């Protein structure tokens, strides 16, 4: 799933990488090899028998962060405070930003500002070794799964915004099939492990039924 298409487009921000030689780097490569083998994505996302769930989750959260960065990078020039004055997924869904620090209450923001803050927030979390430990002899925190659920839920909102408000641009530049495959991988993973609440998936319900079910 390392599409050449994305390589020639600007990235939204630098990719997060696992250090070569580490167990999670090897697990990442194993997951990538499965994806590239053409196996059914529903099968690919299942936890390998010998692997720890938290390791599997960590690898996928980082991978989805990187891929969604690339996806948004293909349309971010068309997403501005003028074109997208609110972070939304169609007329029925609006997302407000809250990080518990600068934004202590849900705050309406233009989509581009929301997504920038979202990506900064995720980047800080996945680079925090107390949350995403690098060494396998360091345990994941007890809150790790709930933190990942929150990350994946918010990253899914980027998919929603891009699909609903910028899909015409994706079609125009020939990226539709690639984005659909990225989304299917994301959907099957979060569905397999119940990581994103069904109500968060609702804005893309019709598309999910079309390409995933």
Binding site, annotated residues for Zn(2+): 79, 84, 161, 166
Angle at 61 between CA 179 and CA 75, to 5 degrees: 35
The answer to whether residues 198 and 149 touch, using CB atoms and an 8 Å cutoff, is: no
Query: Which parts are annotated binding residues?
Result: 79, 84, 161, 166
DSSP H helical ranges for the chain: 4-7, 23-36, 41-44, 53-75, 111-126, 144-172, 176-192, 198-201, 205-211
């Amino acid at each position: 799933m390392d599409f050449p298409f994305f390589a020639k487009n600007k990235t939204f921000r630098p990719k997060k990488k696992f250090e070569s030689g580490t167990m999670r780097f090897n697990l990442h490569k194993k997951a990538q090899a499965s994806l590239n083998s053409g196996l059914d994505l529903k099968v690919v996302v299942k936890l390998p028998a010998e692997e720890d769930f938290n390791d599997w989750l960590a690898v996928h959260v980082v991978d989805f962060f990187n891929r969604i960065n690339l996806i948004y990078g293909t349309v971010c020039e068309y997403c501005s405070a003028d074109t997208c004055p609110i972070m939304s997924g169609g007329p029925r869904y609006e997302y407000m930003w809250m990080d518990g620090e600068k934004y202590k209450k849900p705050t309406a923001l233009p989509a581009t500002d929301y997504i920038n803050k979202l990506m900064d927030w995720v980047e800080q979390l996945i680079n925090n070794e107390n949350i995403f430990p690098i060494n396998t002899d360091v345990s994941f925190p007890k809150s790790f799964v709930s933190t990942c659920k929150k990350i994946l839920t918010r990253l899914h909102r980027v998919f929603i915004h891009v699909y609903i408000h910028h899909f015409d641009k994706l079609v125009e530049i020939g990226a539709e099939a690639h984005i659909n495959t990225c989304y299917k991988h994301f959907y099957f993973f979060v569905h397999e492990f119940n990581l994103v609440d069904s109500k968060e998936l609702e804005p893309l319900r019709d598309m999910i039924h079309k390409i995933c079910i």
